[in-house]
Structure 1
Amino acid sequence: MSNPITLKQLAKELNLSISTVSKALKDSYEINENTIARVQALAKKYNYRPNRMALSLKNNQTKTIGVIIPNILNYFFSKVLLGIEDEANKNGYQIIICLSNNKYKKELQSLELLSDGSVDGFILSIARETQRDKHHSHFKKIIDDDYPIVMFDRVSDNVACDKVVIDDFEATFNATNYLLNKGRKKIVLISTVSNLGIGKERANGYKEALKKNSKYKNKAIIIPITDKSKYDSIIDKLFEDHKDVDGILTTNNVSAVTALRIAQQKGLHIPKDLSLIGFSDDTISRLSNPKLTTIDQNAFEIGKKAVSTLISRLTSKTKTEYKTKVVKTDLLVRETT
């Protein structure tokens, strides 16, 4: 295999300075169009690639972002990842993706693996196990080692860093109000994230909407599901215990579509007898019959904001206060309400 051509060799063949060739490869406004065309044509001919290691040593940065997510199969996280990749690419950054699989040790290993100079900073959503057991010292150590972190969705109040979130309280508050305005008399919340911070916020938004409605007579009913194998049995029992339920709000779409199927099996007409709202604008919400009304977290925008926030932190010449940026949610009204 032949040795790759260097910037110096390109400059020599073109009879230009190394600085001029470097700027031409970046489409700099300082270089005229003819020179840019000549440089880029030769670079393409020799399949020139910049030496990223040399660049990182020279600039003291790798132009690489470490991304740690709990679950790649989850629609929300994969959509956030698309937003991260899109914004990073636009700004000349690469990403390295690690999966925590919702395990604290995997999350810790990923942070330790990439904090050896491989990345400039991290974007991450905390593993379920990490939140449950209240681990946060590993994040503080990374930040103390001068690696900025931007947390999204699942964040920790105990870690001083930038964050990008949705207003989970407002999302369920508004969705519950929508059901109340539709005249629903008994609204149940099915929660699959009750042991996470986002789950508590979503439950509080639901309860507050009921509390503020003077015409609503029933108590708040929250059905937690922690075991994926028990969706059917728990939701079936919900209908047996609350035969007059006429509104269901969920924290994910699997439980919403499960409730939809079981309700139809019991002869209920959707949305005449029962209104349903899910959480996340994933494929399942658009393919259900009838199509599921759902809360859209705008995951792609979360990913983009996380990257712009991290790059702003990396490029800032002065230390600024940490910020929490809130991405607006939307209620996508379809056929189940």
Structure 2
Amino acid sequence: MKKLTLNDIAKHFGVSISTVSKAVNDNAEISKEVRDKIQKYAKEHHYRPNRVALSLLKKSTKTIGVIVPTILNYFFTQVFFGIEKTANARGYNIISCTSDESYPKEVHTVGLLSAGIVDGLILSLSHETQAKANIEHISNFIDAQIPLVLFDRVSDKIECDKVIVDDLQAGYNTTKHLLNAGCKNIALVSEIYNSSVGKLRVSGYQNALKERNIPFDSKLLLKVKKDDDLELLITFLLDYKKIDAIIALDEMMAADVLYILKSKNIKVPEEISIIGFTNGRLSKYVSPSLTMVSQHGKYIGELTANILIDRIENKGDFIPYTTKIVKTSLIERESTRSIK
């Protein structure tokens, strides 16, 4: 069945397309009698407005694009929840995408969303993008004068609004907590070693060690690539030195480390303590439950969405770019020893 258009309705009633458009949108410029007739006809014939055409006419789509590196990380799930809740409350829809940590996919998706289908974009850079340090696609997006907010994984080369976690302090606080508990040989396991987030957490870890005059041992920094055998890497690590604590830079990694240690009959936390990043449901229900660093993902999502929508709705005004820094919290559970 051919889709009914404004032009079809205009021909049926012998009026202009503008008159039909105003009648369909209940504009008081058109008499109530004419409005009622046109609206009734449109409803009976299942007329649906062309949203793309309307958005071009109004120069607004009331839609926000969101690109996250992965949906498998609970942090990004929580951020998205906060974005969607806030956007919907303010009358905006969401187009959600994942880059799967891929630079080419991120480039393609950013290009797609720059074609006038969103009013603004919220983005956390992929692992590959940060490793390549190539942000030309982001510069092109900004050149199209579409508002952008970067969160979590950001770049100093991009001038825009940003919402970041205080990852340097988080890495420092986490390491210091373990040192205060009596741990001496603390390993750090990371899949995100090339990201801004991963680098800052490692720097915080190094700062805490330096403060206690403990030399940094690069062999205790376990860089895990996508296809690596984590169990084998952990085995090599345990053979190298008597480890008494492990910091994992995401929740899934912390759970995997816990599983591997238990399979080797290593007691957690009596022999090795574990702390992970991102306080998701998984960390609560494994045994022993995992001590985690909470990054307050839902709050970050809400904050990010509000910053973007404020900029969209004040697009003609000069508003300096802002960088908001969110502090983390340590949620202590059973996988670490109590500080005495």
Question: TM-score range, shorter-chain basis?
Answer: 0.7 to 0.9
Residue 229 of structure 2 aligns to a residue whose secondary structure is helix
Q: Which residue of 1 aligns with 2:307?
A: 309
Q: Which residue of 1 aligns with 2:59?
A: 60
- State the identity as a percent: 40
TM-score computed with the length of structure 1 as normaliser: 0.82
Q: Give distance in 2, aligned partners of 1:131 and 1:10.
A: 46
Q: For the structure 1 residues 9 and 168, does the alpha-carbon distance in structure 2 shift closer, same or farther, using more than 3 Å as the test?
A: closer
In the alignment, which of 295, 298, 320 is matched to residue 296 of structure 2? 298
Q: For the structure 1 residues 210 and 88, does the alpha-carbon distance in structure 2 shift closer, same or farther, using more than 3 Å as the test?
A: same
Q: Give distance in 1, aligned partners of 2:256 and 2:297.
A: 23
Moved more, 309-318 or 134-143: 309-318
Q: For the structure 1 residues 61 and 248, does the alpha-carbon distance in structure 2 shift closer, same or farther, using more than 3 Å as the test?
A: same
Is the CA contact 1:185–1:217 (under 8 Å) kept in the aligned structure 2?
A: no
Q: For the structure 1 residues 115 and 258, does the alpha-carbon distance in structure 2 shift closer, same or farther, using more than 3 Å as the test?
A: closer
TM-score computed with the length of structure 2 as normaliser: 0.82
In the alignment, which of 20, 23, 29 is matched to residue 8 of structure 1? 23
Is the CA contact 2:74–2:251 (under 8 Å) kept in the aligned structure 1?
A: no
State the shift of 1:48 in Å.
9.9
CA deviation profile, 1:246-287 (whole Å, cap 9, x unmatched): 111111233322332333344432222221101111232122
Q: For the structure 1 residues 9 and 246, does the alpha-carbon distance in structure 2 shift closer, same or farther, using more than 3 Å as the test?
A: closer
State the shift of 1:102 in Å.
1.9
Give the counterpart letter for 2:299 in structure 1. Answer: E
Is structure 2 residue 181 aligned with structure 1 residue 210?
no
Q: For the structure 1 residues 281 and 49, does the alpha-carbon distance in structure 2 shift closer, same or farther, using more than 3 Å as the test?
A: farther
Give the counterpart letter for 1:252 in structure 2. Answer: D
Is the CA contact 2:73–2:251 (under 8 Å) kept in the aligned structure 1?
A: no
Is the CA contact 2:119–2:146 (under 8 Å) kept in the aligned structure 1?
A: yes
Give the counterpart letter for 1:279 in structure 2. Answer: F
CA deviation profile, 1:121-172 (whole Å, cap 9, x unmatched): 1111112221111111111111111011111111111111111110111111
CA deviation profile, 1:161-217 (whole Å, cap 9, x unmatched): 111110111111111111111111221111221111111101000110111125x57
Is structure 2 residue 183 aligned with structure 1 residue 197?
no
Residue 105 of structure 1 aligns to a residue whose secondary structure is helix
Q: Give distance in 2, aligned partners of 1:112 and 1:289.
A: 44
In the alignment, which of 20, 28, 36 is matched to residue 17 of structure 1? 28
Give the counterpart letter for 1:314 in structure 2. Answer: I
Is the CA contact 2:63–2:95 (under 8 Å) kept in the aligned structure 1?
A: yes
Match runs of 1:103-142 below 5 Å: 103-142=102-141
Residue 146 of structure 1 aligns to a residue whose secondary structure is coil
State the shift of 1:58 in Å.
4.7
Q: Which residue of 2 aligns with 1:256?
A: 254
Residue 65 of structure 1 aligns to a residue whose secondary structure is strand
Is the CA contact 1:150–1:163 (under 8 Å) kept in the aligned structure 2?
A: yes
Residue 274 of structure 2 aligns to a residue whose secondary structure is strand
Q: Give distance in 2, aligned partners of 1:109 and 1:258.
A: 32
Q: Which residue of 1 aligns with 2:9?
A: none
Match runs of 1:43-82 below 5 Å: 52-53=51-52, 55-82=54-81
CA deviation profile, 1:74-107 (whole Å, cap 9, x unmatched): 3222221111111110110011122222222221
Residue 200 of structure 1 aligns to a residue whose secondary structure is helix
Root-mean-square deviation (CA), in Å?
Answer: 2.8
Match runs of 1:92-111 below 5 Å: 92-111=91-110
Q: Give distance in 2, aligned partners of 1:218 and 1:84.
A: 39
Structure 2 residue runs without a partner (length 5+): 6-19, 33-39
Q: Which residue of 1 aligns with 2:320?
A: 321
Is the CA contact 2:68–2:76 (under 8 Å) kept in the aligned structure 1?
A: yes
Residue 168 of structure 2 aligns to a residue whose secondary structure is helix
Q: Which residue of 2 aligns with 1:168?
A: 167
Q: Which residue of 2 aligns with 1:35?
A: none
Q: Give distance in 1, aligned partners of 2:102 and 2:216.
A: 38
State the shift of 1:9 in Å.
5.1
